[in-house]
Structure 1
Amino acid sequence: MKTLWAPWRMAYILSEKKPGSCVFCDALNQQKDEDNYILYRSKHCFVIMNIFPYNPGHIMVVPNRHINHIKLLTNDESIDVFKTVQNFCDILEKAFKPNGLNIGMNLGSASGAGIADHIHFHIVPRWIGDTNFMSTVCDTKVISEGLRATYNKIKEFI
């Protein structure tokens, strides 16, 4: 069995969370897209950077409506979300030239969802050799680009 180590995510896991609040809804409602790393808004969803990324360019496609299961998406929401996933795969491929992409969703906290009450799709650029001795020996992931630089790079292709 292979193990995926992500010790840098502990900062989010241990961070204080306001009861009844949702980080996605809060970001969407604040209308401060650049401050909240929101890259794009459509009728039914938005794209936001993961501020605890697995790799540079790690983004999430999030329905605007606060729902906790994929089966609750309307047909219009499903089409919009999936079209946005497709479009941002193209954008990430142009911006970062990865060797591949991981696309995924965790439903429920037992599946690994850090924000289980508001579904979202992750899109993570991947490169051959993007894990190295730092993650295996030091429990440390090296993210080679700052969040603001990554945000600006992606915005150039939208």
Structure 2
Amino acid sequence: MRLNWVVAVGQYTLAMLNRYPYSNGHLLVTPKRHAANLFDLTAEEHLEGMQQLANLTKVLSKVISAEGFNVGLNLGRVAGAGVPGHLHWHLVPRWQGDHNFMPTLAAAQVIPQSLDALWEALTDGQE
């Protein structure tokens, strides 16, 4: 599923590379079904979303040596949701010495590692 940069697929959710990452390895975890709010999700979607996040922190720690993570969820346009009708969690890897999360968000820039190379590493890292 390289065309859409999908790195993990569950029964209810999927995870993909962010096309405009805040840091190397920035992933999005989203339900397969459109849902705008947390209260729109089923218990199964909630659980699998959290399981995807937990598994991907392990994969990112192994594949790109991430030392920590920020997990974010913007609900609604006023909260910064870029796709307000479809909620998604941001999983942002962090390293000692990088700056805190707010400047990362405010100065979001594409990072130098190619999405293609990162997709290869992450999909291989789950085997």
In the superposition, the TM-score normalised over structure 2's length comes to: 0.87
* Matched residue SS, 1:114: coil
Moved over 2 A (4+): 128-131, 139-142
Q: Structure 1's 154 and 44: CA in aligned 2 closer, same or farther, altered over 3 A?
A: same
Match of 2:12 among 20, 44, 63: 44
CA positional deviation for 1:98 = 1.6
- Say which of 56, 72, 75 aligns to 1:107: 75
More strand by share: 2
Deviations 1:69-114, CA, capped at 9 Å, x for gaps: 0111111111111111111111111111122111110001111111
Unaligned stretches of 5+ in structure 2?
none
TM-score normalised over the length of structure 1: 0.71
Q: How many residues align?
A: 120
CA distance in 2, matches of 1:118, 1:52: 17
Greater Rg over alpha carbons, structure: 1
| Aligned-CA RMSD value | 1.7
- Partner residue of 1:149 out of 114, 117, 122: 117
1:87 aligns with 2:55: yes
Which segments of 5 or more consecutive residues in structure 1 lack a partner in the other structure? 1-32
CA contact (8 A) 2:21 2:109 kept: no
> Which string of whole-angstrom CA distances, capped at 9 and with x for unpartnered residues, describes residues 25-69 of structure 1?
xxxxxxxx1111011111000001100000111001100110100
The counterpart of 1:53, out of the listed 6, 15, 21, is 21
Letter in 2 for 1:85: L
Q: Which residue of 1 aligns with 2:91?
A: 123
